[in-house]
Amino acid sequence: MKAFCVTLLLAIAGTALGAQQDVSARLAGRVPPEIAALVHQLALGAAARGLPIDPLIQKAIEGSAKGVPADRVAAALRALTAQLDVAAAAIQQAGSNRPDTEAIAAGAFALNAGISAKQVTALALVSRPPYSTAATLRVASTLAAMGVPGEQTVDLVTQIIASGGPATDVLGLPGQVMVGVSQGQGRGVTPAQAAAGLARAAAARANAPGQNKPKPQHP
């Protein structure tokens, strides 16, 4: 039993050391030492809480590549860590005890794009297989970045999923909204109006008789 515990501890320590070395290798020569130290510290805590560390590494490299002062990069890294925590909690609210890191990263990005924590929970709730939470949140953040309000984004994604189409229907939503905007350019159609049109069409399909609805699958 003692040997097992020692082996387990060594394995955990080895994994943590490996992760730290990976972080060091990715930051080497790309960020100042004080930022590298902060990323290490934040990444250690984030990994212990089940959060992804890749967005932190990317943000540090991005800030340094853009020539942003170190104190501002540090502030952005702390803000991002907070967003990852909020995103993880929001997805957990939807019933996922241990959300995957991809979904958490997508949730944090959605928060940054203007989707609220409550809306992240709503989107995670409707994202049952075959619809992935990460993909749904990415689509929502792209729609929000295009100018579609958060509430309307949730409504559109929910309607598309309820209409029972394949997962690619959700992935194609930003493109569909862009098409709607370009087709209605002469009439000044906004992304929000194009999204509303798509939601109405999806609702009509979902309510059509004989429509295949996705089987509810519980986590």
Partner 1 sequence: MTDFHPQVRQLLDGDINLADLPPELRAEGEEALRLLAAVDREPVTLPGTLGARVLAELRRRAEAPGFWRRLRLRPWTLVPAFAAGAALALLLSTPAPTRAPAAVTVRFVLFAPEAQQVALAGTFNQWDPAATPLVRTGAPGVWTATLTLPAGQHQYAFVVDGARWVADPAAPAVDDGFGRRNSVLSL
What residue ranges bind partner 1 (CB under 8 A)? 26, 30, 58-59, 61-63, 65-66, 68, 72-73, 76, 79-80, 106, 109, 112-113, 129-130, 138-139, 141-142, 145-147, 166-168, 171, 174, 182, 185
At residue 137's C-alpha, the angle toward residues 143 and 54, to 5°, is 115
Q: What is the DSSP letter of 31?
A: S
Closest separation in Å from C-beta 119 to partner 1 = 15
Dihedral pair phi/psi, residue 209, rounded to 5°: -65, 140
**Nearer to partner 1 (CB atom), residue 6 or residue 71:** 71
Closest separation in Å from C-beta 6 to partner 1 = 38
**Rounded CA gap, 123 and 140, in Å?**
8
**Nearer to partner 1 (CB atom), residue 7 or residue 24:** 24
Closest separation in Å from C-beta 15 to partner 1 = 23
Torsion angle, alpha carbons of 15, 17, 18, 20, to 10: 120
Closest separation in Å from C-beta 77 to partner 1 = 9
Place of tokens 């991002």: 80
Closest separation in Å from C-beta 60 to partner 1 = 10
Closest separation in Å from C-beta 122 to partner 1 = 19
Q: Which pair of structure tokens corresponds to residue 110?
A: 């959605």
**Nearer to partner 1 (CB atom), residue 67 or residue 210:** 67
**Nearer to partner 1 (CB atom), residue 72 or residue 200:** 72
Of 199, 192, 200, residue with least CA distance to 146: 192
Of 161, 210, 71, residue with least CA distance to 153: 161
**Nearer to partner 1 (CB atom), residue 90 or residue 177:** 177
Check the CA dihedral 53-12-92-172 and report its sign.
Answer: positive
**Nearer to partner 1 (CB atom), residue 19 or residue 171:** 171
